[in-house]
Amino acid sequence: MKIPPDLLPEGFRDRLPPQAEVAARVSRAMIDVLTSYGYARVAPAIAEFESALAERSGGAARNQHLRFTDPVSGHTLALRGDITVQVGRIATTRMQESPRPLRLCYHGQVLRLKAKQLRPERELTQLGAELIGNDSVAAACEIVGVAIDALEAAGVKDITIDFTLPDLVERLAEKALPLAPDKIDAVRSELDMKDAGGLSVLGADAYLPLLAATGPFAAAVEKLRAIDAGGALASRIEALESIAATVAGRANVTLDPTERHGFEYQSWFGFTIFAKGYSAALGRGGTYYIDRADGTSEPATGFSLYPDPLIDLADEGVVQRIFLALGTDASTGAKLRSDGWITVAALDENDDAVLLGCTHKWTNGQAIPV
């Protein structure tokens, strides 16, 4: 069967005017925020050797790569599904001697093997910031604040940040609420699924109160404090309160300390960003470790945002386009462009200002609405 020339693979799309310009404008506004905080921009390659990319990605993410054979090297290559791991590679190889903390930001397209239920796209825009070499409370406060600023620059309002503690079970299992090592993963999974019955079957009833420590931050963190056996979570709770205080009045803060899905490789802190009017999360972030080639690891804190939903709902605005009749002097067009106009020059006498999408026409030295 011959494929129609305008048919794209499932999950892919073209952005046409004016939406393509909207996409550039929204992304540019967000990236400008990141660079204003001192995050230097990097542009990783869109494809890497599949074996190396899969090793860094780990878990389920490695099964989301689109693969192909490189006709030059004969090796299997993979198109990136996440830029974060590529930034980690750059930081620990090409920029390993750069002073820490190292602030890097990025923007680009990522591709997924399969779409998710709430996100049918397989090609996504991803942008974010990574603070390499530090996973302190101060680093987390900065990263959460930068993420909020970036979204606000894109016009997002009514932001909600949901905090989680990815290492919660491991921390409690050490002493406060002991668990056999072979039960830790199972208990973590049941907590993530909010399955009280599953916890009871595992003999982990002591972990049941954690399921209630969710919701608006102030109330949820008090519930977490009340069930903190022996103060095992005291430092974590204090850290969460410090981060929440930095965004007070700018975003709603909620807490779900047992949320694990998507945070498998985060260390002590994770967060997900939501906003009113958007059905799915707009991004997520937290603290993590980057593995180095010598077997050591380096702490980091960062976030990734997926702005396609923002672009789809963004106001296209009115673009001031002025029509220049055939024979208009080049210096006139240059002056108008320097004044902020978009000029559309006629190429023959039949060109029509309205059909070419112009809002004005240059006539007798004046911009006349059409």
Domain of residue 127, CATH code: 3.30.930.10
Residue 266 lies in a domain: no
* Residue 161 maps to a domain: no
Tell me whether residue 224 is exposed, middle or buried, using C-beta atoms within 10 angstroms of its C-beta: 0 to 12, 13 to 18, 19 or more.
Answer: buried
Q: Higher model confidence: residue 58 or residue 80?
A: 80
Residue 162 belongs to a domain: no
User: Across residues 257-261, what is the average pLDDT?
Assistant: 87
The reply to whether 2 falls in a domain is no
Please indicate, yes or no, if residue 274 is contained in any of the structural domains: no
Whether residue 267 is contained in a domain is answered as: no
Last residue of a domain, one of 211, 229, 259: 259
- Low-confidence winner among 1-15, 41-55, 59-73, 356-370 (lowest mean pLDDT): 59-73
Q: Is the pLDDT of residue 58 over 80?
A: no
Q: In what order do the strands lie in the sheet with 66-69?
A: 47-49, 76-79, 66-69
Are 201 and 305 found together in one domain?
A: no
Q: Are residues 89 and 149 in the same domain?
A: yes
Structure confidence at residue 264 as a pLDDT band (50, 70, 90): confident
- What pLDDT, on the 0 to 100 scale, is given for residue 119? 75
> Into how many domains does the chain fold?
3
Q: What is the mean pLDDT of residues 257-284?
A: 91
Q: Considering the domain boundaries, does residue 365 fall inside one?
A: yes
Whether the predicted pLDDT of 162 surpasses 60? yes
Whether residue 270 lies inside any domain: the answer is: no
| pLDDT of 62 | 63
For residue 60, what pLDDT is reported? 52
Q: Cβ distance 345 to 327 under 8 Å?
A: no
Q: What is the pLDDT of residue 271?
A: 97
Same domain, 196 and 283: no
Q: Residue 12: pLDDT above 90?
A: yes
Asked whether residue 133 falls in the same domain as residue 39, the answer is yes
Q: How far apart are CA 255 and CA 269, in angstroms?
A: 11
* 59 shares a domain with 147: yes
Q: What is the pLDDT of residue 54?
A: 87
Same structural domain, 247 and 363: no
What are the b/e assignments for 23-47, b being 16+ CB within 10 Å? Answer: bebbbebbbebbeebebeebebeeb
pLDDT tens track for 130-154: 999 999 999 999 999 999 999 999 9
Q: Are residues 49 and 100 in the same domain?
A: yes
Query: Are 286 and 349 part of one and the same domain?
Result: no
Count Cβ neighbours within 10 Å for each residue of 334-348 and write b for 16 or more, e otherwise: eebeeeebebbbbee
Quick one: pLDDT at residue 114? 85
Maximum Cα interatomic distance, the chain, rounded to a whole number of Å = 86
pLDDT (0 to 100) of residue 61: 62
Q: Is 149 in the same domain as 283?
A: yes
Name 278's Cβ contacts closer than 8 Å, sequence gap at least 6.
Answer: 309, 310, 313
Residues 305 and 342 in one domain: no
- Residue 82 above 80 pLDDT? yes
**Residues 43, 68 within the same domain:** yes
At 270, the pLDDT band (50, 70, 90 cuts) reads very high
297: phi then psi, degrees, rounded to nearest 5: -135, 160
Q: Residues 73, 211: one domain?
A: no
Per the structure, the complete domain to which residue 183 belongs is given by: 167-259
Cβ-contact 86, 44 below 8 angstroms: yes
Yes or no: say if 190 and 199 are a contact pair by the CB < 8 Å rule: yes
Residues 6+ apart with CB under 8 A from 144: 161, 243, 246, 247, 271, 285, 303
Tokens (6 digits) for 39 = 């995050």
* pLDDT surpassing 70 at residue 59: no
* Cβ neighbours of residue 193 closer than 8 Å, sequence gap 6 or more: none
Most confident segment among 239-248, 257-266, 316-325: 239-248
